Structure 1
Amino acid sequence: MSATTGRAFGGSGPGSAGPSRDRYVAHPDAETDRHYAAAWRVPAPEPAPADPPAPAEAEPDADAGWLLGDDEPRSGGDALTEALPQGRPPRRRRWLWPAVAAVLVLALVGGVFFTRDLWPILFPPDYDGPGTGRVVVEVSDGSSTRAIGEELVAADVVASARAFGDAAEEDPNGRGIQPGFYELRRQMSAAGAVTALLDPATRVGRLDIRSGTQLDDTAGNGTEVVPGVLSLISRATCTVDGSGAERCASVEELRAAMADTDPAELGVPSWALDGVRRAEPARRLEGLLAPGPYDLAPGTGAREALAAVVRASVPRLEAGGLVREAEAAGMAPYDALILGSLAEREGVPADFAKVTRVIVNRLAVPMRLQFDSTVNYPLDRQTLLTSPYDRARPGPYNTYLNLGLTPTPIGAVSPQALQAALEPEPGPWVYFVKCQTDGISCFAVTPAEHDANRRLAQERGVY
């Protein structure tokens, strides 16, 4: 048989089961195949079905061996084929280490965030103890608790605004802190700072001008001395220096600043400038400092302190329509201020409008006012009683001798007295005298009526 056309068959020797299709090898010559198939009586082979395309060989996975527990990673697809169910693609695990690293990074960042941002919120730092030294802190008008806390942190009074806020919330009066200046200690506990801010004794730079108060101190009942506006301002400027000595703008320095500084530079409004410049320099700001509370920074100089009080006072004086209503009534606003100050010193609030009517009616006659309060004003006395000698003493404020109004107001003017000056009660009265123990006056038109009211006052022990 030829080497090129021969066929290998299964033998018929021992162990052979005879001709076998399984051992039949197809010859490239189809005709020869049919010949041999017929000779051996073996049916011609049917064309074999086409094999399905082999799946793409899986890329070797370096982690496969580790996942299967081998000491060394297995290579190729055989290892995965052995471990995973047949027909399912191998699951990739390359994301595992990056995911673990990301979790660790997030945990680290979260820990830093908690320590830096959340820890102070949950456990705000706080000083322990009453603190040391002195520091003045200002609480501005309208400041929130948080804003106050931040000011205290900036001055190193408390360790954190959050600790101060928590302490203020825990104190029943913690929201009652008033605007102003306070002398505190450095590095106080938050609770101690709240307590100090609620204690009036720690408040500094505060002055409160009462209605009728003069610039100068006045003699009250007996040996009593009533502090004047200049003394109140002086006290408010006091501070303690590093050596423990107290420093204040003295009354003498304040009076000198008032006399030597142009009124406009001190904040005197335009409607009062002419009257103020004509007045005696040592009294020129009388009446322009309205009643009420004021706050001055401790350590403020004399000129700055005067200017601060004047500028804060003017809006209070003008709030009731002083300029507008005075001009509508044909009166200078400064004259209305003088008129109100006279009513303030001569009567009680219930009589202010009647007293101003008496003044207006006397000025129209013209008739001297004859007020004891104006005689006592330059004598720095509170009493309304005068002696014949006092009434005979010449001076610009002696209304027993002079016609018209005084050169300046004679004290601080309340809103009620100022309103009475702008709207006097209608009436023909030209006389009045205090006739009741509560300060109420009896008003009269004729001298005879006035004499009767005086006798009534004497009977009641008032006059």
Structure 2
Amino acid sequence: MSDLDLFSDPYGSDPYGDPDHDDRGRRSRRPGTRRQGQRQRQKQRRRARNGKAAFLFAMAFLVAVVGTGGVLGAAWLDHRMNPPDYEGQGTGSVTVQIKDGDSGSTIAATLLSHQVVKSTGAFVEVYGKNPKAAGIQPGFYKLRKQMSSAAAMALLLDPKSRAGNLITLPEGLRVSQVVQQLVSKTGIPKSDFEKVVRRPTGLGLPSYANGKLEGYLFPGQYNLNPNASAREVLKMMVDRFNQFARQSDLEGRAQRAKLKPGSVITMASLVQAESGRPSDMPKISQVIYNRLRHRPVPMFLKFDSTTLYGLGKFGIVASSEDIKSKNRYNTYNYGGLPPGPISNPGEKAIDAVFEPEDGDWLFFVATDPDNRITEFASTEAEFEVLRRKLNKYLESKGGN
């Protein structure tokens, strides 16, 4: 064996038996292997093309976003710097309410919601530049739609634009008197108010009102919506009572005083009707307590005001015929409190029920109604002296 034979491959010239080489050392040209290479190269080209497209799309999207953001940012900045505003005096008519304590931005939002101004920014800008803006009064205003902010501001500062009916209802009015004043101020037919008084549903009356408005139309100043109905106007007054009752803890105070809330309002209406001055109220309240708690037998209140109320009359002194009447409000004939309030009392009268002035008075007489003078007595003899004073006053006036 030659040296060459020692190193020769008995299985061929490729020492590793490469199937892609023939016995002469040449690469095999089998069809399957060639197709696999082509597919691999095609995949690589597709990946390259897809990657390039994705890159170009991403760049285009980025440019679009940056460009749009720039446009939007510029638009936002322009909107802030130059808020949109209408031009001119506007058209049509709209009633807008400005409430007590409203700020410039609050007023702007109210105007925008009623389509008066085009943007809050434009109005706030005008508001901030006008030194009289803080003088805008709460109330109802008749404005127009699509006004310039400057024109809207001018109308809000013009008293002639006030569309509401400002009315002050004093303490101690009966419901019938309240209705009379509301009819005169609003022009709403009296029959509309009377219908609500007869059926006061939906007004939010407290349960202790027993479905009656008397006593629960809280006195005070009201700015009436010119578009409101009779029911809405009366509801506003009941709402004011409920607000007072919550804030003053009326029910809690009544419970601590061992009184029913309805009895408190009834007593307060008597105090209101019988007092000439606020300083008299705690004393009159004490007289009521003293008579109702009198021992050994409670005393009748014998208030002319309740007796006249039951008869639908007005006056200072009930006549002998009035005193004989059988109506339940006649406290000459019926013991205890009347069945309900006889007027709409104010805050001071209600407070007087909870804070009576200490004293043993059992009587009081308005000896000089013109000057609102009321005097108090503890005995029948003292009372007779005061009653003679009143009779002398009545004679000077020609009677009751």
TM-score, normalized by length of structure 2? 0.68
* Alignment equivalent of 2:381, drawn from 448, 451, 456: 448
Counterpart-to-counterpart distance in 2, 1:319 and 1:343: 21
1:402 Cα deviation after fit:
3.0
Q: CA RMSD in A?
A: 3.7
Matched, 1:413 2:345: yes
User: What SS is found at the alignment partner of 1:196?
Assistant: helix
User: What SS is found at the alignment partner of 2:95?
Assistant: strand
Please list the CA deviations of residues 402-448 of structure 1 after superposition, one character each: whole Å capped at 9, or x if unmatched. Answer: 33222211222111110111221111111112345542321101122
Counterpart-to-counterpart distance in 2, 1:334 and 1:109: 66
Greater CA drift, 310-319 or 145-154:
310-319
Rate the CA distance shift 1:173–1:432 in 2: closer, same or farther, 3 A: farther
Q: Which amino acid aligns with 2:218?
A: A
User: What SS is found at the alignment partner of 1:213?
Assistant: coil
User: What SS is found at the alignment partner of 2:144?
Assistant: strand
User: What SS is found at the alignment partner of 1:266?
Assistant: coil
Please list the CA deviations of residues 139-188 of structure 1 after superposition, one character each: whole Å capped at 9, or x if unmatched. Answer: 35654311211321332323432332233334444224455443222233
Aligned equivalent of 2:29: none
Q: Is the 8 A contact 1:350 1:440 kept in 2?
A: no
* Alignment equivalent of 2:290, drawn from 336, 357, 361: 361
1:316 Cα deviation after fit:
0.8
Counterpart-to-counterpart distance in 2, 1:375 and 1:296: 33
Rate the CA distance shift 1:200–1:411 in 2: closer, same or farther, 3 A: farther
User: What SS is found at the alignment partner of 1:253?
Assistant: helix
Counterpart-to-counterpart distance in 2, 1:430 and 1:216: 31
1:340 Cα deviation after fit:
0.6
Counterpart-to-counterpart distance in 2, 1:393 and 1:129: 68
Counterpart-to-counterpart distance in 2, 1:215 and 1:200: 31
User: What SS is found at the alignment partner of 1:377?
Assistant: helix
Q: Is the 8 A contact 1:230 1:254 kept in 2?
A: no
Please list the CA deviations of residues 100-149 of structure 1 after superposition, one character each: whole Å capped at 9, or x if unmatched. Answer: xx9xx98x9878855x3444554555455544321022335654311211
User: What SS is found at the alignment partner of 1:441?
Assistant: strand
Counterpart-to-counterpart distance in 1, 2:310 and 2:141: 36
Q: Is the 8 A contact 1:320 1:415 kept in 2?
A: no
User: What SS is found at the alignment partner of 1:184?
Assistant: strand
Unmatched segments (≥5 aa) in structure 2: 1-62
Counterpart-to-counterpart distance in 2, 1:192 and 1:208: 31
Rate the CA distance shift 1:138–1:233 in 2: closer, same or farther, 3 A: farther
Greater CA drift, 131-140 or 351-360:
131-140
Q: Is the 8 A contact 1:197 1:203 kept in 2?
A: no
Counterpart-to-counterpart distance in 1, 2:327 and 2:78: 74
1:229 Cα deviation after fit:
4.4
Q: Is the 8 A contact 1:208 1:293 kept in 2?
A: yes
Greater CA drift, 385-394 or 143-152:
385-394
Please list the CA deviations of residues 261-284 of structure 1 after superposition, one character each: whole Å capped at 9, or x if unmatched. Answer: 55xx532223x05xx25xxxxxx2
Q: Is the 8 A contact 1:233 1:305 kept in 2?
A: no
Q: Is the 8 A contact 1:209 1:292 kept in 2?
A: yes
Aligned equivalent of 1:162: 121
Q: Which amino acid aligns with 1:254?
A: F
Aligned equivalent of 1:266: 203
Unmatched segments (≥5 aa) in structure 1: 1-101, 218-227, 239-247, 278-283
Q: Is the 8 A contact 2:192 2:230 kept in 1?
A: yes
Q: Is the 8 A contact 2:311 2:327 kept in 1?
A: no
Identity %, equivalent residues: 36
Counterpart-to-counterpart distance in 2, 1:380 and 1:129: 56
Q: Which has the higher helix share?
A: 2
Q: Which amino acid aligns with 1:370?
A: K
Aligned equivalent of 1:210: 170
Q: Is the 8 A contact 2:245 2:251 kept in 1?
A: no
Please list the CA deviations of residues 207-230 of structure 1 after superposition, one character each: whole Å capped at 9, or x if unmatched. Answer: 54421122112xxxxxxxxxx147
1:2-401 equivalences in 2 (<5 Å): 116-127=75-86, 129-140=88-99, 142-199=101-158, 202-204=162-164, 208-217=168-177, 228-229=178-179, 232=182, 248=188, 250-260=189-199, 265-270=202-207, 272-273=208-209, 276-277=210-211, 284-294=212-222, 298-303=226-231, 305-347=233-275, 348-365=277-294, 366-378=298-310, 383-401=315-333
Counterpart-to-counterpart distance in 1, 2:315 and 2:127: 47
